[in-house]
């Protein structure tokens, strides 16, 4: 007799037990698949942010992936991040906001809008500078023990020299160094309109970098002349935009004077001043008063208070908050 229509109570009870066990197994499998999918999503975000697990000295940050200004402001990590506090503590939370909220410009309070932009951008600048300082430290170590250079280090330094277009270790040290936080933050403010420009929220472009040719990773400006070919370079994350900006200042021949003067400050154990080094970025914009504009933004917003920040060490977990 078919077990489904059996009148035997024992058989019917046994069937219910087996059916319950089957449902339990299905739920466990589904939960496992969901957890696995979340893991791969986190892995994809890590890859898009160029997080290198081989860089053992660099910590992993909290990854915040929220899509509205309100949700970002209400997030506990962002809410507890107080601008005035970090100016005194000289530490900044180790967080990574993946994209700018599209409605950032809708925040009515200018003060709140600017503060949120700083909370998003400042940690990214400090993180990228930490990577550059780590590379600079390793280059100096290799230079000081060049006679005992291992094959692995030789390959590593040659690859870096090719990447930074340098033919000696000294030339490499001039190019691989941090960008003053005040300078980077001021340029992000100018080039993205405090994070409200179309290029910023559509393409994560904080620094208005141009790109030419057949490269599709760019956004065409609405007011571009018909015969012009350039685009505004776009990125998969804000972190990529910061890294590209710093690589541009550290490699492009237009900024040779910027790098040399930075190296002079370093060699004389003087602090890197964004206000001072801004004078060597004349080629960054076609605007005649561009360097004055940078210095005014730095001074009006006390951005030099953000120099020499370090990253908080207790934030080690990676989490995507959706």
pLDDT score recorded for residue 45: 40
Is the distance from CB of 202 to CB of 234 less than 8 angstroms? yes
Domain boundaries, the chain: 3-48, 63-321
Taking the whole predicted model, whether its pTM rises above 0.85 is answered as no
- Spatial separation of the C-alpha atoms in residues 193 and 207, rounded to whole Å: 10
pLDDT score recorded for residue 210: 81
| pLDDT over 50 at 54, yes or no | no
| pLDDT over 90 at 155, yes or no | yes
Greater model confidence, 66 or 212: 212
End-to-end Cα, the chain, rounded Å:
53
pLDDT score recorded for residue 5: 47
Contacts of 138 (CB under 8 A, 6+ apart): none
Contacts of 126 (CB under 8 A, 6+ apart): 92, 181, 309, 310, 311
Tell me the pLDDT band of 115, cut-offs 50, 70 and 90. Answer: very high
Place of tokens 């277009």: 165
Tell me the pLDDT band of 222, cut-offs 50, 70 and 90. Answer: low
- Spatial separation of the C-alpha atoms in residues 139 and 134, rounded to whole Å: 9
Is the distance from CB of 190 to CB of 117 less than 8 angstroms? no
Three-state secondary-structure class, residue 20: helix
Is the distance from CB of 246 to CB of 179 less than 8 angstroms? yes
Contacts of 186 (CB under 8 A, 6+ apart): 274, 278, 294, 295, 297, 298, 301, 303
Q: What is the pLDDT of residues 251-266, one digit of tens each?
A: 999 999 999 999 999 9
Most confidently modeled range among 8-17, 69-78, 131-140: 131-140
Is the distance from CB of 108 to CB of 196 less than 8 angstroms? no
Place of tokens 């250079």: 149
Tell me the pLDDT band of 15, cut-offs 50, 70 and 90. Answer: low
Is the distance from CB of 91 to CB of 311 less than 8 angstroms? yes
For the sheet containing 210-211, what is the strand order?
Answer: 210-211, 231-233, 218-219
pLDDT score recorded for residue 134: 95
pLDDT score recorded for residue 221: 65
| pLDDT over 60 at 288, yes or no | yes
Would you say domain 63-321 falls under CATH 1.10.530.10?
Answer: yes
- Spatial separation of the C-alpha atoms in residues 131 and 136, rounded to whole Å: 9
């Amino acid at each position: 007799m078919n077990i489904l229509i059996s009148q035997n109570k024992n058989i019917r009870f046994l069937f219910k037990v087996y059916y319950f066990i089957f449902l339990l197994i299905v739920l466990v499998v589904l939960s496992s698949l969901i957890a696995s999918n979340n893991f791969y999503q986190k892995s994809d975000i890590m890859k898009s942010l160029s997080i290198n697990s081989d860089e053992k000295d660099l910590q992993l940050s909290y990854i915040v992936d929220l899509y509205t200004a309100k949700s970002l402001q209400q997030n506990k990590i962002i809410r507890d991040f107080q601008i005035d506090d970090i100016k005194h503590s000289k530490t900044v939370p180790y967080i990574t906001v993946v994209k700018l909220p599209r409605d950032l410009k809708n925040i009515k309070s200018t003060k709140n809008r600017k503060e949120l932009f700083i909370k998003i951008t400042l940690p990214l600048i400090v993180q990228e500078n930490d990577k550059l300082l780590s590379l600079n430290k390793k280059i100096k170590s290799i230079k000081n023990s060049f006679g005992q250079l291992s094959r692995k280090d030789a390959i590593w330094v040659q690859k870096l020299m090719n990447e930074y277009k340098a033919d000696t270790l000294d030339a490499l040290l001039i190019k691989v160094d941090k960008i003053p936080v005040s300078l980077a933050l001021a340029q992000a403010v100018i080039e993205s309109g405090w994070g409200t420009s179309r290029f910023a929220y559509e393409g994560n472009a904080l620094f208005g970098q141009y790109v030419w040719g057949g490269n599709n990773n760019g956004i065409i400006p609405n007011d571009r002349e018909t015969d012009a070919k350039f685009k505004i370079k776009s990125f998969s994350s804000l972190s990529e935009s910061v890294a590209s900006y710093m690589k541009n200042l550290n490699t492009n021949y237009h900024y040779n004077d910027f790098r040399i003067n930075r190296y002079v400050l370093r060699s004389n154990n003087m602090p890197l001043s964004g206000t001072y080094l801004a004078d060597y970025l004349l080629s960054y914009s076609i605007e005649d008063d561009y360097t004055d504009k940078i210095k005014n933004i730095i001074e009006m917003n006390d951005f030099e208070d953000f120099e020499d920040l370090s990253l908080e060490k207790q934030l080690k977990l990676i989490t995507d908050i959706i």
